Structure 1
Amino acid sequence: MDKPYVIGIDMGGTNTACGIVDARGEVLRRGAIQTQKYTEADQYINELHKALMPLIEEVGGIDKIKGIGMGAPNGNYYTGNVEFAPNLPWKGVIPFAGMLHAKFGVPAALTNDANAAAIGEMTYGAARGMKDFIMITLGTGVGSGIVVNGQLVYGHDGFAGELGHTTIVRNNGRQCGCGKTGCLETYTSATGVARTAREMLDIKKEDSLLRNIPVESITSKDVYEAAIKEDAIAKEIFEYTGRMLGEAFADFVAFSAPQAIVIFGGLSKAGDLIMNPIREHMEKNLLPIWKGKIQLLFSALNEADAAILGASALAWELKN
């Protein structure tokens, strides 16, 4: 293989991680820059170039690089643009794939971060060999990537797969950052779990380890740590969150009949605390034709590398 490596870039709202990846999915070199530091997109690209070039030289120079893949909030695979991302310093439409191509001189592609995770899982992880699956990322928000017949679903405009913004509570649902109310994300993201904790502590009178923490400071990690100590309210918060996810997953199955739903992100660290109620409530709400047939899996990718791997997987498809 004359170009044995690709570059994966994971643009987060706060930090950007990047790496050089080989065909087996090994991240050979890693780097990082701060996303928020640069007021101009050009400065950001220059800084990425500065961080990556020494790593590229270490693996034999730019001639060894087949292409660059980037996962970014509101990244549009069709256009190569990041479009109106609410949590990034640059507003409007930014042609990042074109800017990367111009700066590095190799082909570049871009997609959103959850789609990048799905591609990574299909190329290197738990969904290897699967043609139909859904990737759900449970982090600050809830993202998703839908794969049907071996192809990621982008829709007509490049933005398909916003399952975190399907409505799970129709009346008096929680306000979401997207402007809607009752979105799945407002209940089942890490921030959603913290909101549930505040609500339950307000309604219930029982003792809880969570009452030792200032209510506005409670995080999903605090809820997990209390739950593994058998705290009743913390366990109920996971039961409630898992029920919401399980009911939503049953709807998602009705849409695309996936072989598996793969769960990735911070909340997946809760293991059975979250998985058991998801499984119970998904099965309860599935049509009989799907009962017992849909696998629920945790991501097989190391979380630190997953987004880099997913983004890098885009680059193997690029034509030189």
Structure 2
Amino acid sequence: MKKEVAIGIDIGGTNTVIGVVDRAGNLLAEASTPTLTNTDVKNYLDVLSAKINETVFELDEEVEVMGIGVGAPSSNYYTGEIVGASNLGWGDVVPFVELLRQYYDYPAIVLTNDANSAAVGEMMYGGAKGMKNFIMLTLGTGVGSGIVINSELVLGHDGFAGELGHVITERNGRECGCGRNGCLETYASATGICRTVSELNANTKIPSELRKVPSGQFTSKMVYDAAVKGDELALEAFERTGEMLGRAIADFVAFSSPEAVFLFGGLAQAGDYIFKPTQKHMEENMCFLYSNKVQLLPSELDGAKIAVLGASAVVWKELEQIEQ
């Protein structure tokens, strides 16, 4: 009997990663191909489909491909379109699923964004297995989020629900790439903590080795390494970042009453340096109805593989809905 597998695809600005994943979340094969930007998307799909076929063909066992899940920026699950992804250069509105169906007729071909696919991946393969209500926050260059309520991903009427990184946490605060000011991702992301270090450098006299780094050249890894050494300014930056994130999570909890909030991404890899202040400020700002009821947890998915794992998990979720 052939093993059922899903193809998970993560479209990045430079490379596209392809993974063949079984129902248990085992990554059977992985490959990559350049993301051909600023060209006709059909040229890219020709190359992508060839790489998918090659990867499946070279497997050591016979498999049955049940579907393809694609994680891409600015994607809409409902329409199957990539909308306004300027870094890809394929046009304002790309009917990606419709075009991909010209190459494959699998039961499920699904498009979603990386945070939503990460949430489904956590539910299917990771720490949220068995949970019906949880929130996934991805703390990378920005802040992404996937919200699951009653085992269903929250998508909203237009497919773009759940952008918790763009909830305003500081009125008239930092300028955000979305055009507003004070969004959570300007504080609780890898870039946000670097901005916090710059502000602390300018407005305090806290001693720090980070003062030797030219302004604008900080990385979150530098801040973490300094914190591990006990650097006071780095520790204060994590405290302030945890405060902003914890306060925001307390508000998110009031919205959906999750069993857990999972943190994933570069900033989450700082471990206790980000988790402890976030937990503290989350509970300090929590409505009494939810106090000490919500777990704050790290993702259990392999960080290097989460994109393709999450994209593949969306296929199994889609098949469940088709079968109902």
Partner Cα distance (1:235, 1:290) in 2: 28
In 1, the alpha carbon distance for the partners of 2:89 and 2:62 equals: 29
Aligned to 2:102, the other structure's residue is in SS state helix
Bigger Cα displacement from structure 2, 215-224 vs 46-55: 46-55
Q: CA–CA distance in 1 between the matches of 2:82 and 2:92?
A: 8
Quote the residue 2:162 is aligned against: 161
Check conservation: 1:146, 1:153, Cα contact below 8 A. Answer: yes
- What does residue 47 of structure 2 align with? 47
Unaligned stretches of 5+ in structure 1?
none
> For 2:185 and 2:201, how far apart are their aligned partners in 1?
21
Tell me what 2:123 maps to.
Answer: 122
Amino acid of the structure 2 residue aligned with 1:164? G
Offset from partner CA, 1:209-247 (integer Å, 9 cap, x none) = 112222221111110011100000000000000000000
Closer, same or farther: CA 152–61 of 1 in aligned 2, 3 Å: same
Deviation at 1:87? 3.3
8 Å contact kept, 1:139–1:267: yes
Matched-pair contact (CA < 8 Å) for 2:3–2:62: no
Residue 59 of structure 1 and its aligned partner are, at CA, apart by: 3.1
- Secondary structure at the residue paired with 1:4? strand
Instruction: State the one-letter code of the partner of 2:64.
Output: K
Contact 1:97–1:109, Cα closer than 8 Å, also in 2:
yes
Q: 1:75–1:83: 8 Å Cα contact kept in structure 2? A: yes
> In the alignment, which residue of structure 2 is the partner of 1:185?
185
Report the TM-score when normalising by structure 1: 0.95
Matched residue type, 2:315:
A
Partner of 1:279: 279
Aligned 8 A contact 2:37 2:90 in 1? no
The SS at the match of 2:186 is: helix
C-alpha distance in structure 2 between counterparts of 1:80 and 1:109, whole Å: 7
Q: Which residue does the alignment assign to 2:299?
A: 299
Q: What do the CA deviations read for 1:22-60 (whole angstroms, capped 9, x no partner)?
A: 111011110112325452211221221122221111238
Correspondences of 1:20-31 after superposition (within 5 Å): 20-31=20-31
For 1:137, the equivalent position in structure 2 comes to 138
The answer for unaligned runs of 5 or more in structure 2 is: none
Query: In structure 2, what is the equivalent of residue 149 of structure 1?
Result: 150
Counterpart in the other structure of 1:255:
255
Quote the offset at 1:95 in angstroms. 1.2
Counting matched residue pairs gives 319
Q: Cα deviations across residues 288-311 of structure 1 (Å, max 9, x unaligned)?
A: 111110000000000111111110
Pairwise CA distance, 1:191: 1.0
2:246 equivalent in structure 1: 246
- Alignment match, 1:170: 171
Cα gap change, 1:128 to 1:196, in 2 (>3 Å): same
More displaced stretch, 13-22 vs 139-148: 13-22
Preserved contact between residue 75 and residue 113 of structure 1 (Cα < 8 Å): no
Contact 2:37 2:88 in 1 (8 A): no
Distance 1:62 1:158 in 2: 35
TM-score (norm 2): 0.94
User: Which stretch shows the higher mean deviation, 89-98 or 59-68?
Assistant: 59-68
Cα separation, 2, equivalents of 1:137 and 1:263: 6
Contact between 1:193 and 1:241, CA under 8 Å: does it hold in 2? yes
CA shift, 1:152, in A, is 0.3
Q: Please state whether the residue corresponding to 1:32 is helix, strand or coil.
A: strand
Cα distance in structure 2, aligned partners of 1:250 and 1:86: 34
1:252-278 deviation digits (Å, cap 9, x = unpaired) = 000000000000111111000000010
Rounded to whole Å, the distance in 2 between the matches of 1:206 and 1:280 is: 23
Cα root mean square deviation, aligned = 1.8
Task: Indicate the residue corresponding to 1:231 in structure 2.
Answer: 231
Once residues 135 and 117 of structure 2 are traced to their aligned partners in structure 1, the CA distance between those partners, rounded to angstroms, is: 12
Three-state SS of the structure 2 residue aligned to 1:303 is coil
Alpha-carbon distance in structure 2 between the residues aligned to 1:238 and 1:224: 9
CA distance in 2, matches of 1:88, 1:183: 25
Q: What's the offset of the Cα at 1:200?
A: 1.0
**Amino acid in structure 1 at the alignment position of 2:237:** I
Partners of 1:282 and 1:93 in 2: CA distance: 39
Q: How does 1:72-151 map to 2 (within 5 A)?
A: 72-106=72-106, 107-151=108-152
| Cα distance between partner residues in 2 of 1:178 and 1:220 | 22
SS at 2:305 equivalent: helix
State the AA in 2 paired with 1:65: V
Q: Residues 186, 148 of structure 1: CA spacing in aligned structure 2 closer, same or farther, 3 A cutoff? A: same
Q: CA deviation at 1:206?
A: 3.4
In structure 2, what residue type is equivalent to 1:238? F
Q: CA deviation at 1:153?
A: 0.5
Contact 2:4-2:63 within 8 A present in 1 as well: no
CA shift digits 1:148-201 (9 cap, x unpaired): 000001111111000000000112x11111111110011111111111111111
1:105 Cα deviation from its structure 2 partner: 3.4
